[in-house]
Amino acid sequence: MTDETPTGRDTSGRFVKRAATAVSAMSRTSDEGIHPMSKVLFGWTERKNIGAILFWVFAVLSVLLVLADLAVDRHEKIGFANSVGFYGLWGFLSFAFVVLMGWPLGRLLRRDEDYYGDAGGPPADVDPDLVDTRPGAASGKPEGDA
Amino acid sequence: MPAFLTDLNPGWLLILAGLAAIFIKIRSVRQVITIITPVVAILLLATTQHGVDHLTYNALGIELSFYRVDSLNFIFGLAFLIASLLNAIYALHTDNRLQDGMALAYAGAAVSATFAGDLMTLFIFWEITAISSVFLILQAGTRAAYFASMRYLAVQILSGVLLLDGIAYVWHYNGSLSLEAFTSLDQPGALIIFIAFGIKAAFPFLHNWLQDSYPKSSVVGAVILSAFTTKLAVYAFARFFPGFNELIWIGAVMTIFPVFFAVIENDLRRVLAYSLNNQVGFMICAIGVGVAGVGNPLALNGAAAHAFVHIIYKALLFMSIGAVLYRTGTAKASELGGLYRSMPWTAVFCIIGGLSISAFPFFSGFIAKSLTMSAVAAEGAANPAMIVVWLMLLFASAGVLEHSGIKIPYFAFFGHDSGKRVKEAPFNMLLAMGMAAFLCIAVGLPALVPGLGYQWLYGLLPYPIEAAAYQPFTLDHILTQMQLLILAVFAFILLKRLMLYPAEKPGVILDTDWLYRKVGYGAFRWVDTVWSKIGPATAAIATRLASRAYDNMVATFSPRGMLSRNVFSGGMTLWTAVILGLVLLVSYLTS
């Protein structure tokens, strides 16, 4: 598309063209459906040992935050909230309780998708390309929306 | 600006533009209208004089006030108008006249109800919000959406009828429909109005219309629906029931129970609907703090600020999941995952929404929720019961982080790779999300320039002096909030590593709607079946008995019957019977 632009431009024109090409490249999803910005923004999540890294980062962060209680003078209206690590402990336990309750509750309350007899499908205003089943119909076309 | 314009309720402008948009076939013209109208409405609102009845009308001896702005409703109206603008941008890729029109009309009705100067006007627009919004569910075009929309409409109309009923009491006993707060639920009409508002605010056990309908509406519709109805109810509570301690407990329960549903729910739009419930709980709880009929300035500021920021970050979350649904055709966690590769910008905006709703410092939820938490903690110093409420809210804060801060972005954009490779969301969706994300951050920042950042929002709150005195960015406050959130995130990582986090499974989760969709419907069907069998059977028995009695009578009394075998005795018997009958009749008539 950008190749159609005439080449004999002054410097500012070329700069605009180059910038436009760069922006266009960064916003165009590849044929494999990978957006170029995904590498820039979230490439770090693809590291092999990211789980362990995150675990240790948050473990250390948690310890540091709790230890910070010793240094920071707190003035809580509710007495026991002043104790060291109260908020951290409450946050950790609340979160773990909610998640672990997911096991029995899921077993108790989950039913088949058509339990009410109307499982339904996606709403009418999803991407029209989704309905089009031709191969490659969902890619390559420039965004004409808005 | 001319007086007639500043006297015009901006909500009316939206309704009129919405009705006009339905008939405008040229898409670009309609798009210009849907975007320009909220902008003009915001300008009108900004220039309006506060505390004055701008537009009054006397009907049947009732003084109706159609437009009255004050410090309480201003911020709600402004949030509604901003949401309306964001919705319009988000919907630009569609070409649906009815949806565009009804979206504006619905927003307009909510704004008009917010700025109503009397109860009857509130009721009129309360009903219009119900009727206009149902189209947004219907636009999904599925069978499930159709049935959900009918259930939705029934519940909303019920709320309206109760409200009208309550208003009739108030009018009868007080002779006035002014916007004065109640001071007790024993006042005439107070309890009925309380329940009417409670339905719209989705109180526990009255809540399920929300989770039933919003996730079944169209992609655009869910974003629009998320903003108005429940927050209009929050405003109505703040107006009429401030300081009602019942609200503290109702609100606290509301913050907690949706958390458990959200953790097992597979449909991410339904997770957001539960999350909406939970957030409204914080507001309702805040409204309940203080003296009945007055409330607590700090807590009411908290409720109003929370409503404002919530409207924006909840819209942002619905927009991001809507974009995922738009591109992939599903919003089910079990079918999603790994979408950051295809939709990185949507992922970024979703995370910003998640950080805001989880109340991370420097995001909008923090500066709003802090007001409520501080007010409840201050009450807790004097009243031990409030310590329990405070702990419940703190628990719910970790719960919000679970379902909205982590579950939504993690299962849609990260986690198990679904292999779905799609295009990034359309530009208009990204623009709307970007604007909402900007507001989430801009409003949550410390006031580096005085009057901007959080101070801008605090300046718009119902009690600006109390708000100005409140300092959300203290070291201990930031530290405690970070402790709560970071250790909760650590719990997530730990449970994930230990394989203790429940996997997302397809299925529907039973909620109170089970009572009317299964038990109620089943009972109805049972009565119907039983009646269809018993009815004809009873009729047959009655017919048979009647015909047998007739046969017996014929066999006895007819000329060829038993009594007539002897002609004389037969005639005499008949005449005796006739005379006896006449005697009976005469004695009955004369007695």
Task: Say if B291 is an interface residue toward chain A (CB within 8 Å).
Answer: no
Task: Say if B324 is an interface residue toward chain A (CB within 8 Å).
Answer: no
Q: What is the pLDDT of residue A17?
A: 81
Cα gap B562→B579, rounded to integer Å: 20
Substitution target from A89, A116, A129, A139 for chain B, most B beta carbons within 10 A: A116
Cα A106–chain centre separation: 25
Instruction: Residue A9: give the domain boundaries.
Output: 1-46
Q: Which chain A residues are within 8 Å of B225, Cβ to Cβ?
A: none
Task: Say if B351 is an interface residue toward chain A (CB within 8 Å).
Answer: no
Q: Are the Cβ atoms of A115 and B508 closer than 8 angstroms?
A: yes
Q: Are the Cβ atoms of B398 and A125 closer than 8 angstroms?
A: no
Domain annotation covers residue A95: yes
Task: Say if B254 is an interface residue toward chain A (CB within 8 Å).
Answer: no
Could you tell me if A41 and A56 lie in one domain? no
Could you tell me if A57 and A93 lie in one domain? yes
Cα B444–chain centre separation: 25
Could you tell me if A101 and A59 lie in one domain? yes
Question: Do the beta carbons of residue B340 and residue B278 sit within 8 Å?
Answer: no
Substitution target from A31, A66, A92, A130 for chain B, most B beta carbons within 10 A: A92
Instruction: Give the pair of three-digit tokens for residue B97.
Output: 């006249």
Could you tell me if A106 and A69 lie in one domain? yes
Question: A41-49 long-range contacts, Cβ below 8 Å, gap at least 24?
Answer: A41/B340, A41/B344, A41/B347, A41/B348, A42/B340, A42/B341, A42/B344, A42/B347, A42/B414, A45/B340, A45/B414
How many domains does chain A contain in total?
2
Domain annotation covers residue A138: no
Domain annotation covers residue A127: no
Could you tell me if A37 and A4 lie in one domain? yes
Cα gap A115→B517, rounded to integer Å: 10
The distance of A22 to chain B (nearest Cα, Å) reads 17
Could you tell me if A40 and A55 lie in one domain? no
| Nearest residue of B to residue A63, measured between CA atoms | B487
Residues sharing a CB contact under 8 Å with residue B46, sequence separation 6 or more, in sequence order: none
- A vs B, Cβ pairs < 8 A, gives 261
Cα gap B513→B287, rounded to integer Å: 27
Single pTM value for the model: 0.87
Could you tell me if A72 and A98 lie in one domain? yes
Helix (H, G, I), strand (E, B), or coil: what is residue B130?
Answer: helix
Task: Say if B557 is an interface residue toward chain A (CB within 8 Å).
Answer: no
The distance of A134 to chain B (nearest Cα, Å) reads 14
User: Nearest CA to B347 among B435, B442, B434?
Assistant: B434
Q: Which chain B residues are within 8 Å of A110, Cβ to Cβ?
A: 264, 505, 507-510
**Strand (E) positions, B156-303?**
none
Q: Which chain A residues are within 8 Å of B391, Cβ to Cβ?
A: 90
Could you tell me if A53 and A42 lie in one domain? no
Q: Which chain B residues are within 8 Å of A130, Cβ to Cβ?
A: 327-329
Of B260, B348, B507, the CB nearest to A110: B507
Q: What sections of A72-124 are H helices per DSSP? A: 86-109
Could you tell me if A96 and A54 lie in one domain? yes
Could you tell me if A88 and A41 lie in one domain? no
- What tens-digit pLDDT sequence spans chain A (146 residues)? 445 555 545 566 677 788 888 777 777 777 777 888 888 889 888 888 988 999 999 999 999 999 998 888 888 888 888 888 899 999 999 999 999 999 999 999 888 888 887 767 888 888 888 864 434 444 434 433 43
Q: Which chain A residues are within 8 Å of B147, Cβ to Cβ?
A: 118
Question: Which residue ranges in chain B fall short of pLDDT 50?
Answer: none
Substitution target from B93, B389, B483, B495 for chain A, most A beta carbons within 10 A: B483
Substitution target from B143, B411, B490 for chain A, most A beta carbons within 10 A: B490
Q: What sections of B265-334 are H helices per DSSP? A: 268-288, 297-328
Substitution target from B383, B423, B500, B505 for chain A, most A beta carbons within 10 A: B423
Of B140, B141, B263, the CB nearest to A99: B263
The distance of B459 to chain A (nearest Cα, Å) reads 25
Q: What is the pLDDT of residue A70?
A: 87
C-alpha separations of A15 from A19, A21, A27, B55, B334 in Å: 6, 10, 18, 56, 46
The distance of B50 to chain A (nearest Cα, Å) reads 36
Find where tokens 């039983």 sit: B530
Q: Which chain A residues are within 8 Å of B482, Cβ to Cβ?
A: 65
Task: Say if B510 is an interface residue toward chain A (CB within 8 Å).
Answer: yes
Instruction: Give the pair of three-digit tokens for residue B28.
Output: 């670009």
Q: What is the pLDDT of residue A143?
A: 39
Instruction: Give the pair of three-digit tokens for residue A83.
Output: 């104790």
C-alpha separations of B137 from B98, B99, B125, B153, B173 in Å: 12, 10, 19, 10, 39
Task: Say if B535 is an interface residue toward chain A (CB within 8 Å).
Answer: no
Q: Are the Cβ atoms of B340 and A69 closer than 8 angstroms?
A: no
Domain annotation covers residue A26: yes
Q: Which chain B residues are within 8 Å of A68, Cβ to Cβ?
A: 479
DSSP output for B136-147: HHHTT--HHHHH
Could you tell me if A40 and A52 lie in one domain? no
Of B414, B479, B500, the CB nearest to A100: B500
Q: Are the Cβ atoms of B142 and A124 closer than 8 angstroms?
A: yes
Could you tell me if A4 and A34 lie in one domain? yes
